Amino acid sequence: MMSGDGLPQALSFDDVILLPGRSRVEPWQVDISTKASRRTSIRIPLIAAPMDTVSEWRLAVSLALLGGVAVIHRNMSREEQLNHVEKVKRHPKVKLAELYVEAGDECCRVVEYMRSLGLRNLPLVSGGRPVGTVRFTDLAGCRCGERVEKYARGEAVYPIDALREALEVLRGGRYDTVALTGEGGVFLGTVVFDEALRDYQPAVDSEGRLLVAAAVSPFDVERVKMLDGVADILVIDVAHFHNDNVMNAVRRFAKDLVSDLVVGNIGTSEAVVDAFSIVERVDGLRVGIAGGNICTTSGVAGVAAPTLYAVMMARRGLEEVGVDPGEVPIIADGGIRGSGDAVKALAAGASAVMSGYMLAGTDEAAAPLIRVGGRAYKPYRGMASRGAMERRFAVDRYSRVAKRVEEGIEGLVPYRGPLEKVVAEFVEGVKAGLGYAGAASIEELWRVARFARIASRIGAYTGTVKTEA
Ligand code: XMP
């Protein structure tokens, strides 16, 4: 792609639109399942970025239950990161709540608690183990001051292996909640009735466990060894993969890995060609440089490979090395503001998009909820921002100082509620996009998509109509 002056054109999401095409399917019939890496399948093309305000085990579990996958960030010690990954792998394929009463709780307070939740029963936990359930109706005789266990029954506790049975019991309507136990009878969490009615289509590994990825530095071989074979995918987490030190470091461990290996970030076709010639195993490409919503690299360094352009270049690079993008997926990383950008990235050849920004405002994102002037927000920051870098050097004594300049900002994003809601909007938008473009699947989109350059702004919201008071 050349412009009139002979310079190559590095297109961004706002530079192009996707043209409509003849459609044979309705949006609800569109299949958006795809790959996150060579051997891992996801049901929706969404990967949570490894950022310390976004991707920890809670978000990873919820996203995998919804069909996507999260990359657990590395701004913590190796042991902590492993713990987050293991928590996801051990988690049952249902959402767990931290709702229970403890042996020793005073029964009148439990009555009030259960009334406020509107639940007819709650697990009773003693010494970290669920020992039964407390039913609201059984508490009718409670005299204030009594311990709640006096009214408990040894029921509604299921080991994780009996999840199916536990869900059946909930569907049967006798209980609103059941407790799940893990190894040694420890309390894993509470399944609430609503969850039993859901039809989860989770992203899972070959043994049916939730899928999870982990970010690694190419220079932290100990971390790589620790996470290999536990996380399904290891994601090389550097701003510029096309660097001899980085590629040589990855080459040293790549071929022996049990987990899939996604390399990045990549911005040019030459980087793809070099990645495949230097590193023996590449199972996915994370592409886009300096396109992120919190990114200041292009201002600081004057360098960028906008995400849409990077996807197009990665596609070209894969063609050059003779690798099918259906085999080694391209992951479009950075600057995705919503489903529209995602559809453009997919149309350009990506298999999935990676986002921090879209997910940072959700309940499940790793940062706490903050109120400013009566409105709710969540912190969101670049991993090369001052705060994130300070944390990295404080918690991980093995991390290397590669640069002395900040390349990201720290800010707040509006609170967006449960992840499920945000993901549902994203999924509907992506399906609609494929429907308009005339594609029944992402692979078909690659074949039929036609882009046009935007001559002037069209139909898009311009900010002239106020949507908020
Ligand atoms: P979004 O647009 O979802 O992008 O916020 C997430 C991606 O941005 C990259 N990233 C950074 N890039 N400085 C940068 O130049 C940073 O501090 C930074 N932190 C994250 C990263 O690729 C991530 O997936």
pLDDT higher at 339 or 293: 339
Provide the residue type at 294 as one letter: I
Both 154 and 229 in one domain: the answer is no
Give the single-character DSSP code of 137.
G
CB-based pocket (< 6 A), ligand 1: 49, 51, 265, 290, 292-295, 297, 333-336, 354-357, 382-385, 407-408
Tell me the CA–centroid distance for residue 411 and ligand 1, in Å.
Answer: 13
The answer to whether position 230 is within a domain reads yes
Could you tell me if 314 and 418 lie in one domain? yes
First to last CA, the chain: 43
What whole-number distance in Å separates Cα of residue 30 and Cα of residue 364?
Answer: 27
Total domains present in the chain:
2
The pLDDT of 289-312, averaged and rounded, is 89
SS3 366: coil
The residue segments making up the domain with residue 253 are 13-91+202-466
Give percent above pLDDT 90 in the chain.
Answer: 80
- Residues 282 and 304 placed together within one structural domain of the fold: yes
Round the CA-based radius of gyration of the chain to a whole number and report it: 24
- The reply to whether 245 falls in a domain is yes
339 and 300 in a common domain: yes
Is residue 43 among the annotated active site residues? no
- pLDDT given for residue 5 in this prediction: 77
Contact 70, 60 (CB under 8 A): yes
Rounded Cα gap, residues 268 and 42, in angstroms: 26
Q: Tokens at residue 98, please?
A: 């931290």
Partners of 355 in the β-ladder: 48
In a domain, residue 7? The reply is no
Task: Average the pLDDT over 40-45 and give the result.
Answer: 98
Q: What is the DSSP string of 114-144?
A: HHHHT-SEEEEEETTEEEEEEETGGGGG--T
Residue 137 shares a structural domain with residue 264:
no
Cβ-based neighbours of 182, under 8 Å, separated by 6 or more:
90, 159, 160, 188
> Would you state the pLDDT for residue 269?
97
| CATH number for position 138 | 3.10.580.10
**Is 295 an active-site residue?**
yes
Q: Tell me, yes or no, whether 2 lies in a domain.
A: no
For residue 144, the number of C-alpha atoms closer than 13 Å in the C-beta half-sphere is 3
Cβ distance 8 to 302 under 8 Å? Answer: no
**Whose CA is closest to 254, among 38, 35, 36, 81?**
38
Helix (H), strand (E) at residue 424 = helix 419-437
Give the model confidence (pLDDT) of 225-262 as tens digits. 999 999 999 999 999 999 999 999 999 999 999 999 99
Q: Which residue has the tokens 């657990």?
A: 72
Reported confidence tier of residue 122, pLDDT bands at 50, 70, 90: very high
Dist. CA 153 → ligand 1 center (Å): 51
The residue whose CB lies within 8 Å of the most ligand 1 atoms, and thus the one to mutate among 294, 353, 413, is: 294
- Chain segment 340-370, per-residue pLDDT in tens: 999 999 999 999 999 999 999 999 999 999 9
Q: Give the end of a domain, one of 152, 178, 197.
A: 197
**206 and 193 in a common domain:** no
CATH code for the domain of 404: 3.20.20.70
pLDDT by residue (tens digit) across 374-408?
999 999 998 888 888 888 777 665 455 566 677 78
Between strands 233-236 and 260-266, the pairing is: parallel
Residues 236 and 187 in one domain: no
Q: Which of 197, 232, 262 is the last residue of a domain?
A: 197
pLDDT one-digit tens code per residue, 91-115: 999 999 999 999 999 999 999 999 9
Residue 403's pLDDT is 62
**CB neighbour burial string for 213-232, b if at least 16 within 10 angstroms, e if fewer:** bbbbbbbbeebbebbbebbb
Strand duo 121-126 + 260-266: pairing: unpaired
317 lies in some domain: yes
At 208-225, the pLDDT tens digits run 999 999 999 999 999 999
* Helices vs strands, H then E, count in the chain: 14, 22
Prediction pTM value: 0.92
Q: What is the pLDDT of residue 399?
A: 58
Rounded Cα distance between 376 and 414, Å, is 6
pLDDT in the model for residue 402: 60
Which pLDDT score is estimated for 469? 41
Can you tell me whether residue 305 is helix, strand or coil?
strand
266, 285: one domain: yes
CA of 335 to the centre of ligand 1 (A): 8
CA of 428 to the centre of ligand 1 (A): 25
Kindly report the protein residue whose alpha carbon is nearest to atom 12 of ligand 1: 295
| Residue 183 and residue 252 in one domain | no
What lies within 8 Å, CB to CB, of 45 at 6+ separation is 32, 34, 68, 342, 346, 350, 351, 352, 353, 430, 442
- Asked whether residue 390 falls in the same domain as residue 409, the answer is yes
Q: What is the pLDDT of residues 273-295, one digit of tens each?
A: 999 999 999 999 999 999 888 88
What mean pLDDT comes out for the span 56-82?
Answer: 97
Q: Which residue has the tokens 């360094």?
A: 301
Among 397, 404, 447, 457, which one carries the catalytic annotation? 397
Q: Is 96 helix (H, G, I), strand (E, B) or coil?
A: coil
| Domain contains 1 | no
Distance CA 453, CA 310 (A): 17
Tell me if 4 is assigned to some domain.
no
Which entry of 58, 135, 286, 295 is annotated as an active-site residue?
Answer: 295
End residue of a domain, out of 167, 197, 227? 197
Residues 216 and 298 in one domain: yes
Q: What is the pLDDT of residues 411-469, one digit of tens each?
A: 899 999 999 999 999 999 999 999 999 999 999 999 999 999 987 665 555 445 554 54
List the beta bridge partners of residue 354: 47, 333
Kindly state whether residue 123 falls inside one of the protein's structural domains: yes
Q: Is there a single domain that holds both residue 47 and residue 145? A: no
Residue 62: band (very low, low, confident or very high) from pLDDT cuts 50, 70, 90 = very high
The model's confidence at residue 300, banded by pLDDT at 50, 70 and 90, is confident
